[in-house]
Amino acid sequence: MTAVETQITYSNSYTIHHEEAYMTQEEDWDRDLLLDPAWEKQQRKTFTAWCNSHLRKAGTQIENIEEDFRNGLKLMLLLEVISGERLPKPDKGKMRFHKIANVNKALDFICSKGVKLVSIGAEEIVDGNVKMTLGMIWTIILRFAIQDISVEGVWKDGLALCALIHRHRPDLIDYSKLRKDDPIGNLNTAFEVAEKFLDIPKMLDAEDIVNTPKPDEKAIMTYVSCFYHAFAGAEQAETAANRICKVLAVNQENEKLMEEYEKLASELLEWIRRTIPWLENRVAEQTMRAMQQKLEDFRDYRRIHKPPRVQEKCQLEINFNTLQTKLRLSNRPAFMPSEGKMVSDIANAWKGLEQVEKGYEEWLLTEIRRLERLDHLAEKFKQKCGMHEAWTGGKEDLLSQKDYESASLMEIRALMRKHEAFESDLAAHQDRVEQIAAIAQELNELDYHDAASVNARCQGICDQWDNLGTLTQKRRDALERVEKLWETIDQLYLEFAKRAAPFNNWMDGAMEDLQDMFIVHSIEEIQSLITAHDQFKATLPEADKERMATMGIHNEILKIAQTYGIKLSGINPYTNLSPQDISTKWDTVKHFVPLRDQMLQEEVARQQANERLRRQFAAQANIIGPWIQTKMEEISHVSVDIAGSLEEQMNSLKQYEQNIINYKSNIDKLEGDHQLSQESLIFDNKHTNYTMEHIRVGWEQLLTTIARTINEVENQILTRDAKGISQEQLNEFRASFNHFDRVRNFLLLSTILKMNIHKKLKLIIFARIMTLVDPNNTGVVTFQAFIDFMTRETAETDTAEQVMASFKILASDKMYITVDELRRELPPEQAEYCISRMTRYVGPESPPGALDYISFSSALYGESDL
């Protein structure tokens, strides 16, 4: 409404307001207005709103009109705001005479403006006399809000008449093109439009009105009254149109929220649908690097891709609750999302996603352990095969020789002893062949990617070993056949060979053990290896004695040869091992011992670092886990424990939420420690029962719970403001609700509610109540639904009948409405909305294009596709 239109409204209500007029009204106050309690209630509300509209400029307001003006401070401030003048400085004391002094200063200022205050004294205002306080405020309104309105000046420039026509028929005058400096043109425009389109004859002359200092008031008001009668019917149509617009606006807003919910739900479900197949893809990689890349991709998913979806899920639940609250407040049916998009459906899909995530992570870690084990076994297999193949190299050729046919007796016996030594060595190598076969079998069981080459190599070794056994047996048979013919043997050579062969085999085994690779995951395991190594080092002195004894045999051979002048060939006929071989291998064994010590100590340092990581993670997890649990328990009682208004509760909850969000840095630090643990291939932690997954789930649940609690308080505020519930009423409703909410989970079980009220209500009435408070048949009643039911009878909500009546006014009492009528009476957007959704009216004498507004109005409040 324009300033001119506002001025016209005052002009129609108060024609002439001199000092005597409003003082006469003030004297009648006591007899008429305050005798009726309904009038008093209406005046309290109206005058309080009027005072606050001015006090708001000074940054304050009043709640109780007879209490807040008792000390005179806000009364003086009100007068300063509406008059624009400074009043005397108020007294700062709080005693009664200070308050009376301040009120008197305000009353003296009113009297100084030429206003006579009858029967209004400072003592009555200070005592909180409602009648006197309201009378004083009415006197202030008359003096400062109404007296200065001039009826004659309003109409003189013609803008007021044009504004009056534009207000009701904006299609007749383009108000933006009028000029204040052209009063005659403005007046003639108004007169011509009124005569042509509104059937109001021209009663005044524009030149007379402009050139007369004070136009005749009666003539002007007579002409203006014709507009009142002309627009009386249009005002009723406007009211009806406004009601329809209000209803349609609420419906359009609800539809927008529904579409947004459907869109968010579809996107989130589609993301879950796309993500689950990726997590269910358990195709194992053949190398450790490829599997570690998969683990890194999974970490990126957890750290980058999933958190925004967690926020979307939380926002989706908040939007759903807000939409349901708005539907209840506007007397609309509850929103039912399309199939598969309920909040419970999304929660189930999310739960399935988390289960697949857990399975995928466990599979990744298992595969990494498997590949680590496979790499170790493959390397060990290659090492043992290499040593075995080195040992067997040329053995088949040696066993196939027939050198005994041309040998001397000494040489035959030497060959026999040599063969016995070989058999001893062969038996000693049987364990290594069995170990190679066992490793190959384990590689096959663990699905090693190059199992074919492993199997081929193992089969070749086994076939060669069988062939060696056959050839060995054949050579023994041949030597035994000629043993009776040859009777010379060098006992010392034989003894050397017999002692050197196992000692050499022991050294081979020692070198193999000293070079053996190991995998450990704890300090206890590496300590076990160190203990075994220490035990091995303890056997070295005894082994050295064996070496010295073996070397002593060789020295004895040299001594005998030197003593008796025997020329030795330098070759032991019973073994290929020489004293130099024994010494060289012994030096090699001693060289590998400190290297093994170094490897074990380095592994001890690594395991100690891993243990520190375990303890570091456990120290934080054992603090964060109980902290999250404590916060969850606190949130479950926060709505009951927090005192004050809903806004104060909201501020407390948001501060509580901010404190929780500020704790996020501890979660991030724990995530960093967890990543370090995984990078160090730490798979267990005996120092805590909390895993990173537990902490993540607890943290996400904590954020969701506090957001849901804040949303519940927001919905309570929305309900309170929409239905006019006071804080005391809301507290009383909460106390009643908590009486039945024994477990303090903010839900009432229908069975408990029925058990407590079935003696007073019939089952049919109880069933009707439950359809109102639990439209989805969940079996529980929320606090929001409880408030909606308690305030349903007093709430000022539109009904289908009211909307039908409004449409009937626009349709001039017809049972149908036309497209032209809708477009003429409603704004373009609302008119097109109705036209697109109304069905065609089928009835007697209905014109083409007639629309059925009755079924449309019913659909707004019943089961429909809206």
Residue 229, pLDDT score: 72
Q: Is 255:866 a contact under the CB 8 Å cutoff?
A: yes
Asked which of 482-491, 582-591, 632-641, 674-683 is least confident by mean pLDDT, the reply is 482-491
Bridge partner list, 839: 852
Give every CB contact of residue 677 below 8 A, 6+ residues apart in sequence. 610, 613, 614, 617, 685
574: how many CB neighbours lie within 10 A of its CB?
27
Q: pLDDT, tens digit, for every residue of 10-47?
A: 333 333 333 444 344 444 444 444 445 766 777 888 88
Q: Average the pLDDT over 131-159 and give the result.
A: 74
Q: Is 680:610 a contact under the CB 8 Å cutoff?
A: yes
What DSSP string describes 724-767? T--HHHHHHHHHHHHHH-TT-SSEEEHHHHHHHHTTTS-HHHHH
Q: Which residue has the higher pLDDT, 744 or 540?
A: 540
Residue 238, pLDDT score: 67
Give every CB contact of residue 309 below 8 A, 6+ residues apart in sequence. 268, 271
Give every CB contact of residue 326 below 8 A, 6+ residues apart in sequence. 250, 253, 254, 257, 718
Q: pLDDT, tens digit, for every residue of 474-500?
A: 888 877 765 654 443 367 767 878 888
Answer positive or negative: Cα dihedral of 74, 79, 84, 86: negative
Q: Which residue has the higher pLDDT, 570 or 353?
A: 353
Among 162-176, 522-536, 565-579, which range has the highest average pLDDT? 162-176
Q: Alpha-carbon distance 526 to 9, whole Å?
A: 96
Q: Is 102:73 a contact under the CB 8 Å cutoff?
A: yes
**Matching residue, tokens 């050294």:** 507
Element of type H or E holding 770: helix 763-773
Q: CA distances (Å), 638 to each of 60, 644, 655, in order? A: 31, 12, 12
Bridge partner list, 851: 817, 840
pLDDT band at 467 (very low <50, low <70, confident <90, very high): confident
Q: Alpha-carbon distance 335 to 569, whole Å?
A: 107
SS3 839: strand
Q: Is 82:55 a contact under the CB 8 Å cutoff?
A: no
pLDDT band at 642 (very low <50, low <70, confident <90, very high): low
**Matching residue, tokens 């005397």:** 88
Q: CA distances (Å), 851 to each of 236, 394, 520, 807, 814, in order? A: 21, 107, 83, 11, 11
pLDDT band at 570 (very low <50, low <70, confident <90, very high): low
pLDDT band at 6 (very low <50, low <70, confident <90, very high): very low
Residue 35, pLDDT score: 44
The residue among 546, 431, 562 whose CA lies nearest residue 498 is: 546
Instruction: Record the pTM.
Output: 0.34
Q: Alpha-carbon distance 266 to 342, whole Å?
A: 11
Q: Which residue has the higher pLDDT, 674 or 680?
A: 674
Q: Which residue has the higher pLDDT, 790 or 421?
A: 421
SS3 852: strand
Asked which of 162-171, 555-564, 843-852 is least confident by mean pLDDT, the reply is 555-564
SS3 851: strand
pLDDT at residue 669 tops 80: yes
pLDDT at residue 837 tops 70: yes
Q: Residue 513 has which token pair? A: 């053990």
Residue 783, pLDDT score: 66
Q: pLDDT, tens digit, for every residue of 88-100?
A: 999 888 888 888 9
Q: Alpha-carbon distance 413 to 482, whole Å?
A: 9
pLDDT at residue 638 tops 70: no
Residue 273, pLDDT score: 87
pLDDT at residue 840 tops 60: yes
Q: Which residue has the higher pLDDT, 627 or 365?
A: 627
Q: pLDDT, tens digit, for every residue of 218-258?
A: 677 777 877 777 776 666 666 777 778 877 887 888 888 88
Q: pLDDT, tens digit, for every residue of 56-71?
A: 888 899 989 888 888 9
pLDDT band at 151 (very low <50, low <70, confident <90, very high): low
User: Do you know the residue count of the chain?
Assistant: 866
Residue type, 519: I
- The half-sphere exposure of 227 on its side-chain side, counting CA atoms within 13 A, is 23
**Dihedral pair phi/psi, residue 839, rounded to 5°:** -85, 165
The residue among 745, 723, 728 whose CA lies nearest residue 790 is: 723
Q: Residue 557 has which token pair? A: 């051979």
DSSP at 841: P
pLDDT band at 5 (very low <50, low <70, confident <90, very high): very low
- What's the start-to-end Cα distance of the chain, in Å? 33
SS3 818: coil
Q: Alpha-carbon distance 89 to 73, whole Å?
A: 10
SS3 781: strand
Asked which of 213-217, 306-310, 402-406 is least confident by mean pLDDT, the reply is 402-406
Q: pLDDT, tens digit, for every residue of 161-189?
A: 888 888 888 888 888 888 888 888 888 88
**Dihedral pair phi/psi, residue 339, rounded to 5°:** -60, 130
pLDDT band at 763 (very low <50, low <70, confident <90, very high): low
Residue 567, pLDDT score: 53
pLDDT at residue 764 tops 60: no
DSSP at 687: T
Q: pLDDT, tens digit, for every residue of 393-406?
A: 887 788 888 776 65
Q: Alpha-carbon distance 155 to 158, whole Å?
A: 6
Q: Is 685:614 a contact under the CB 8 Å cutoff?
A: yes
38: how many CB neighbours lie within 10 A of its CB?
7
Among 180-194, 202-216, 370-384, which range has the highest average pLDDT? 180-194
The residue among 352, 350, 360 whose CA lies nearest residue 279 is: 360
SS3 352: helix
Q: Average the pLDDT over 767-781 and give the result.
A: 68
Asked which of 226-240, 547-561, 696-710 is least confident by mean pLDDT, the reply is 226-240
Among 281-295, 364-378, 550-564, 811-825, which range has the highest average pLDDT? 811-825
SS3 15: coil
pLDDT band at 614 (very low <50, low <70, confident <90, very high): confident
Percent residues over pLDDT 90 in the chain: 1
pLDDT at residue 107 tops 70: yes
Residue 759, pLDDT score: 46
Q: CA distances (Å), 237 to each of 224, 368, 550, 652, 800, in order? A: 20, 77, 125, 47, 18
The residue among 99, 89, 94, 62 whose CA lies nearest residue 78 is: 62
pLDDT at residue 72 tops 80: yes
pLDDT at residue 795 tops 60: no
Q: Residue 758 has which token pair? A: 């079935």
Q: What angle do CA 753, 757, 762 make, to 5 degrees?
A: 115
Residue 30, pLDDT score: 44
**Dihedral pair phi/psi, residue 747, rounded to 5°:** -140, 140
Q: What angle do CA 6, 8, 12 make, to 5 degrees?
A: 125
Average pLDDT, the chain: 77
